[in-house]
Structure 1
């Protein structure tokens, strides 16, 4: 039977003890930020080249009807745009409430990280002049497109479409990495990979509807992980007085 400080992980009796917050090594952060820097270069090239974005989006665009047949598909909207998002939000809320009741700082922090990434992406989207594919001239809309970091053209449309907002719900699951890393590093890396996969799946559902380019979702994951890394580092450094873990 699990004690108050334990959470059962599976029916096989594997139990993960949820300890207080811990600090990660400087080396860990250096590796992560170096990886993010390299990914930023790659994602910038993909965004400016636009070849992959146009290829994937063009596959779901119907030139005859000048639109995206799946834009208003009820099943895709229900499963990908609503259900998966609601499950992740509910999971984060439950984790926060449970952490507050049981007074578990690590679980509370991870639950908060679920929302902080989405907040960061939401702020970036609100200030973006990039419009969604279904708003662009080449896909039946009226807005003018332009590459990342390019000069904003006249008639850029409603904007507010970069980075991809919906995918952040899936990428938020990457925060579970910090929940398990100290006691179960293999499980932590699986959670990170699972969050990346879920974010890409949810993001690609939006590509199919014409709501985002694929690179929008890549950048969403980039910003979510950066936010989670920085905030966990700040909180753990500020609150934990112990040697850093390797």
Structure 2
């Protein structure tokens, strides 16, 4: 009897390459931006360029198009992908590698958005437009400073709008599963969108560049960890599935006068 299973051996992640090195690099960039005068230097440059005011704060291009409209487009896109995933899961009812990879992509996007939103509430920092030197009314309080109890918390760290772009870094892992030759494009798309949307908010006075760096690190960490967890889960499931075939073949009744040749063919499953 011949038993055929399609066992897809996922390409294992390198912990150093995919998590330790990127987070270390992001940490260095964050320290350089936040711990030196680069944050304030860049903000001052943009503030002075706009005539000593945040002239682009409520401009139609930066606020209406590149802030509100982009957020709406992102929500529509995510909901569209979610609807497609539900259709595959409920209507088609055929498990596939694409379905699983799409599910992990959607989970990574949502968890990235939620993680940044939660951190914004837990880490009350001011935006540039809140500060005295940039036309606001507040003094600057560092990330780890003890803030006065009477001071109202601001939610400017990390950068929420940039997470709309950086969350799509998860495309790297989506394509890594389905079309590895396209995986690098996921990083290009995520970084390009994140940096663009982050710079838009810097032009408006909403964030320092260190806020965007922190957001990129959060989004990449979320997508990497979730991909690793589901990859391990898939590997374990495939391992369990492959055992019954061998057990069935091994326990076949064998007539003493009739030798039986047991053959097990293992191929890659569509999971």
TM-score, normalising length: structure 2: 0.74
For the pair 1:48 / 2:43, whether they are aligned, the reply is no
SS at match of 1:61: helix
Structure with bigger helix share is: 2
1:1-80 to 2 correspondence within 5 Å? 23-27=10-14, 29-35=15-21, 36-49=23-36, 51-62=37-48, 67-80=53-66
SS at match of 1:166: helix
Say if 2:33 and 2:209, in contact at 8 Å, map to a contact too: no
Equivalent in the alignment of 1:93: 79
For the pair 1:152 / 2:138, whether they are aligned, the reply is no
Say if 1:175 and 1:228, in contact at 8 Å, map to a contact too: yes
CA–CA distance in structure 2, aligned partners of residues 148 and 242 of structure 1: 45
Higher normalized contact order (CA 8 Å, seq sep 6+, divided by chain length): 2
Aligned in 2, Cα 1:219/1:119: closer, same or farther, shift over 3 Å? same
Quote the offset at 1:203 in angstroms: 0.7
CA–CA distance in structure 2, aligned partners of residues 38 and 211 of structure 1: 24
Say if 1:114 and 1:172, in contact at 8 Å, map to a contact too: yes
Segment of structure 1 superposing worse, 232-241 or 96-105: 232-241
RMSD: 2.6
TM-score, normalising length: structure 1: 0.81
5+ residue gaps, structure 1, are 1-19
CA–CA distance in structure 2, aligned partners of residues 41 and 180 of structure 1: 28
Quote the offset at 1:156 in angstroms: 5.8
Aligned in 2, Cα 1:63/1:191: closer, same or farther, shift over 3 Å? closer
| Larger of the two Rg values belongs to structure | 2
How many residues align structurally? 222
Say if 1:47 and 1:215, in contact at 8 Å, map to a contact too: yes
SS at match of 1:95: helix
Aligned in 2, Cα 1:221/1:63: closer, same or farther, shift over 3 Å? closer
CA–CA distance in structure 1, aligned partners of residues 184 and 68 of structure 2: 27
Quote the offset at 1:121 in angstroms: 0.7
Aligned in 2, Cα 1:98/1:192: closer, same or farther, shift over 3 Å? same
Quote the offset at 1:161 in angstroms: 0.7
CA–CA distance in structure 2, aligned partners of residues 73 and 54 of structure 1: 22
